[in-house]
Amino acid sequence: MSNTGKRALYQRIADQLRADIVAGKLGPGSRLPTEAEISKAWETSRTTAVQGLRVLVNEGLIVSDRPRGYFVRRREPMIYRPQKEFRAPAPDLDIFRQRVADEGDDREAAQTIEVVIVAPSTEIRDRLQVADGEHVAVRRRTRTLDGEPYNIQDSHVPLRIVQGTEWMNPGDVARGTNQVLAELGHEIVQALDEISIRMPTPDEATRLLLGPGTPVAEHIATTYAEGGRPVQVTINVLPGDRHVIIYERARQQQWGSS
């Protein structure tokens, strides 16, 4: 094999296929050439063809569905809104109206809930400001849509606050767990959202059925009661191919992206 350019052959194979995909010549769901076809067309070994395909897999552009072949991936993100029921007069958001309305419409939402008591990790302890030996209660939720895992949500509260209360009930709480906390004297008045972007851990990849090349957002919501007292830390893990995170901002706040 002669190196016609500086770029490696497997890179050029990937470039070619990627170009076909972004140009629409290979639309979502299309089947790609097989490894054998590619290696023949480029007069190279199958290993190199595989390497080229793997580039696109790691970019999240294609998936392999063995033994049927490689296919162009579909993306159908759902709306994720840390600010629920935002009441400011909404600007003209036709694009989203549609998709928001779709949420939970024809798709069947479900969730599994378990509640456990654990020693908090450093991340949780820092944000919850609990003492060193103090334990926390955790509501672990895995949400599914049409049977497909959708996201993971783990809420952490100091154990002393919720021990023996409805918060620890491992099932739905119709009026919402924040309402329960409010009734317990911990009404939430403020929150901090931190959103990090990273590749999933193998454990997350398993729980969320993530293919290679699928990054996740880790959304850590820390909620505070009056006086800046932290009440709850919720960690949400959102597969990048299934979510768009939406925030709305109104006049009383300042404008970024100047």
Partner DNA sequence: AAGTGGTCTAGACCACGCA
Partner DNA sequence: GCGTGGTCTAGACCACTTA
Please give the residues from 48 up to 77 whose contact with DNA meets the rule CB under 7 A.
48, 50-51, 64, 66-70
Q: Does 193 bind a second copy (CB under 8 A)?
A: yes
Among 104, 192, 206, 209, binds a second copy (CB under 8 A): 192
Identity of the residue, 16 or 51, whose beta carbon is nearer to DNA in the bound complex:
51
1 interacts with, out of DNA, a second copy, none, CB within 5 to 8 A per kind: DNA
Query: How many Å separate Cα 126 from the centre of its chain?
Result: 23
Distance CA 11, CA 35 (A): 15
Neighbours of 9 (CB within 10 A): 20
Q: Is 111 in the site for a second copy (CB under 8 A)?
A: no
Alpha carbons 144 and 208: distance in angstroms, whole number: 9
Which residue among 10, 155, 219, 243 contacts DNA (CB under 7 A)? 10
**Burial letters for 83-95: b for 16+ Cβ neighbours within 10 Å, e otherwise?**
eeeeeeeeeeeee
Note whether 246 binds a second copy by CB under 8 A: yes
Quick check: 21 binds DNA (CB under 7 A)? no
- 154, 139 in Cβ contact below 8 A? yes
Q: Tell me, what amino acid is at 136?
A: V
Q: Does 136 bind a second copy (CB under 8 A)?
A: no
Window 221 to 240, contacts with a second copy (CB under 8 A): 221-224, 228, 230, 234, 236, 238, 240
| Total interface residues for a second copy by CB under 8 A | 76
State the distance between the two ends of the chain, measured CA to CA, in whole angstroms. Answer: 51
Provide the minimum distance between the beta carbon of 99 and DNA in the complex, in angstroms, as a whole number.
30
254 binds, options a second copy, DNA, none, Cβ within 5 to 8 A by partner type? a second copy
Helix (H) or strand (E) holding 191: strand 188-198
32 or 162: CB nearest DNA: 32
Identify whether the C-beta of residue 48 lies closer than 8 Å to the C-beta of residue 39: yes
8 A C-beta contact, residue 134 and residue 144: no
Binding site for DNA (CB under 7 A): 1, 3, 8-11, 32, 34-37, 44-48, 50-51, 64, 66-70
